[in-house]
Amino acid sequence: METKDLLNGLKEILAEEQINTNEEDLYDASADRYKKYAKVRRVLDVPSPKAIVYPNSPEEVSQLLVYCNDNQINVIPRSGKTATEGGLENWKEETIVIDAKNLNKMIKIDEYNMQATVQAGVILEELEEEVRKKGYTTGHSPQSKPVAKLGGLVATRSIGQLSTLYGGIEDMVVGLECVFPDGHIARIKNVSRRAGGPDIRHIVIGNEGSLCYITEVTVKLFKYFPENNQFHGYLVKDMDTGIKVLREVMVNGYRPSVARCYSEEDAKQHFYHFHKDRCVLIFMAEGSKEIAEATGKGIENAAEKFKDRIIEKVDSELLEEWFENLNWSQQDIDDEFEGMLENDSHTGFTTEVSADWETIPKIYDNVIKRIKEEYHRVEDLTLLGGHSSHSYINGTNMYFVYNYEIHCAPEDEMRVYHHPLQRIIVEETLKLGGSMCHHHGIGKFRNEWTKEEHGSAYYMLEKLKEAFDPKNIMNFGTIYPQKEGKKFQE
């Protein structure tokens, strides 16, 4: 389809000011934070979309999707732009980005029923600030909070720093509204729980834009008791100990909001002023006075049980200060951009996985060992480590972090550094039955392992795609492997 015809078609649905064809914006829209370095250095290898559009209503979204479905135009659903795994990357010549910018109303904050309803383009931090005024919190606190929007947060099955208490987004979503490629607008109503067949919300939560476009979300509210927050920190002998203490806290029924264990090198990044080359274990107890105190006690009991492998306690004040400075802001992102222009480096990459209690330490050890032995550029690594940051009664996650000096052309950076490292991590994780993506999603750069990740259950995912997006116009390349897209994955 010719570009001008494509644009003309859009003009029949939307007003001129809702269609953006600015070259710089289109270049920026062709990739997300995954290829941040190549983008800054202007050596992206993917095509730019033809336009970015800003619908004003779910009806307009519906019309847009029908138009794209009829004309085989690839659609990239976008809201906060904070994607880190290629979810927003464009692999097709004929693509439009549907941006939720104008779907930014906070529709209702229902205090009595503890629910907040917003459109997909509302920034999480703005919602959070609004409910805080009334003494509540959404409990959702990813590092991207100041910038990320609800549409993307739900589409990616995101999780926040306080998840061990409040859960992931899937535990917070009540009802939602979304639009399918055939134009159908589906509205899932808000109820506390029901058994009306399978839980269809889960077709939408985590679809990463490959099945539908989210337009509205309702999330739960929680009462906010910041005055009762308690920090507990310890320097521990090794990761194994740290994970055992985490487990002890969880299996005994406690739900701290923050429960983390950092390996030595990773700890150095955050806690160089007190980590003394050790692993750092951190907890935060939150909630009503009684709950916070009880949780605090639970944590102390767990530490007591492993006291011979705990080196020392950490001053809570130090932890509080650290926690306050954890989130990104738009300025962080802008600064990082400038930094990548000036220097041959960036803030590094991460690959994060999940497994049960027994398996996670094994995965951690296997990965570190294999990287040190096999990875051909191990001497360029300036940091290699990991931390566990989201725990459940039956397991936890492991966030591998790696920074490196970039000693190659910007176009080759991913091939030389991130991809081989990611491969080792994913392979070792899948080998032992863990999941290769705890909360970052599959995006486009782990889709070669999607089938292995799901095994025989992949059948169910596949059928969903066939049913809802038979013409494959929704975010081509995300989750579902595509032969045509392989060239962009090198």
Partner 1 sequence: MKKCLIFVEDNKSRDADDLTEVVDQLYGSRNGEKYGFGNKKALEDLDGTFDALIHAKNYEFDEFDVRNITNCIEELYHAYNFDSIMISATHLGRMLAPRLAMRLKTGLVADITAVNSDEKGIELIRPAYSGKLMAAIKIRGKGPLMMSVRQNVFQRKTKRIADSEWIEFPFKMIEEQRIELLSSERREESEDIRESEVLIAGGRGASSYFNELDALAEALNGKVAASRKIVDQQIASRRIQVGQSGKTVSPKLYIAMGISGSIQHIEGLKNIEHIIAVNKRKGAPICSIADIVVEGDGKEFIAKLLNRINRDGQKEKAGGEEE
Partner 2 sequence: MKIICLIKFIPDVENIQFDKKKNVLMRENSRLTVNPDDETALAAALKVKEKNPETVVEILSMGPERAIPKFQDLLRRDVDKGVLISDPLYVGSDTFVTSRILGTCLSKRMPDCIFTGTHSLDGDTSHVPAQIAELLNLSHINNVLNIDIDQLMGDKAVVKVNSEGETLEFRMSLPAVISFEKSKEYKMPYIRYEEFQRDVNEKMEILTNHHLQMKEEEVGLQGSMTEVEKTFMKNVIEKESIIVNNDDEGIEYVYKFLKEKGYL
- The binding site for partner 1 (CB under 8 A) comprises 268-270, 272-274, 315, 317-318, 321, 325, 331, 335-336, 338-340, 342-343, 345, 347
237's contact among partner 2, partner 1, none, with CB below 5 to 8 A by partner kind, is none
> Residues 156, 87: contact at Cβ < 8 Å?
yes
Q: Which does 408 bind (CB under 5 to 8 A by kind): partner 1, partner 2, none?
A: partner 2
Straight-line distance from the first to the last Cα atom of the chain, in angstroms, rounded to the nearest whole number: 28
Q: Determine whether 186 is exposed, middle or buried from the number of CB atoms within 10 Å of its CB (0-12, 13-18, 19+).
A: middle
Q: Does 379 bind partner 2 (CB under 8 A)?
A: yes
Residue found under tokens 């709950």: 291
- The residue (of 283 and 322) whose beta carbon lies closer to partner 1 is 322
Q: Which is nearer to partner 2, 109 or 416 (CB)?
A: 416
Nearer to partner 2, 39 or 390 (CB): 39
Binds 412: which of partner 2, partner 1, none (CB < 5-8 Å by kind): partner 2
List the single partner that 273 binds among partner 2, partner 1, none, CB under 5 to 8 Å by kind: partner 1
Alpha carbons 122 and 56: distance in angstroms, whole number: 13
Q: Which is nearer to partner 2, 184 or 415 (CB)?
A: 415
Q: Is 393 an interacting residue with respect to partner 2 (CB under 8 A)?
A: no
**Residues paired with 388 in a beta bridge:** 261
Q: Which residues partner with 262 through β-bridges?
A: 280, 387
Residue 415 binding target from partner 2, partner 1, none, CB below 5 to 8 Å by type = partner 2
Residue 156: how many other CB atoms lie within 10 Å: 27
CA atoms of 210 and 79, how far apart (whole Å): 15
Q: Is the CB of 13 or the CB of 319 nearer to partner 1? A: 319
Say whether 465 sits in a helix, a strand or coil: helix
Least distance from partner 1 to the Cβ atom of residue 203, Å: 40
Closest approach, Cβ 45 to partner 2, in A, equals: 12
| HSE-CB of 250 using CA atoms within 13 angstroms | 23
The item of partner 1, partner 2, none sharing an interface with residue 416, based on CB under 5 to 8 Å by kind, is partner 2
Task: Select the binding partner of residue 64 from partner 2, partner 1, none (C-beta < 5 to 8 A, by kind).
Answer: none
The smaller minimum CB distance to partner 1, of residues 301 and 343, is found at: 343
Residue 133 DSSP code: T
Binding-site string for partner 2 from residue 416 to residue 435, where x marks contact by CB under 8 A and - marks none: x-------------------
> What distances in angstroms separate CA 130 from CA 255, 308, 413, 437, one per listed residue?
25, 46, 41, 31
Integer Cα distance of 263 and 155 in angstroms = 30
* Eight-class DSSP state of 71: T
Q: Is residue 409 near partner 2 by the rule CB under 8 A?
A: yes
Phi and psi torsions of 222, nearest 5°: -130, 155
CB 165 within 8 A of CB 287: yes
> Shortest gap between Cβ of 33 and partner 1 (angstroms)?
14
- d(CA 258, CA 161) in angstroms, rounded, equals 6
CB 239 within 8 A of CB 265: no
Distance of closest approach, residue 336 Cβ to partner 1, in angstroms: 6
Minimum CB separation of residue 144 from partner 1 in Å reads: 17
Q: What phi and psi values does residue 229 have, to the nearest 5 degrees?
A: -60, 135
- x/- mask, partner 2, residues 284-313, rule CB under 8 A, reads ------------------------------
If one asks whether residue 412 binds partner 2 (CB under 8 A), the answer comes out as yes
Residues binding partner 2: what is the number (CB under 8 A)? Answer: 8
* 202: partner contacted, choices partner 2, partner 1, none (Cβ within 5-8 A by kind): none
Residue 199 contacts which entry, partner 1, partner 2, none (Cβ below 5-8 A, type-dependent)? none
Judged by DSSP in three states, 310 sits in: strand
Which residues contact partner 2 (rule: CB under 8 A)? 379, 407-409, 411-412, 415-416
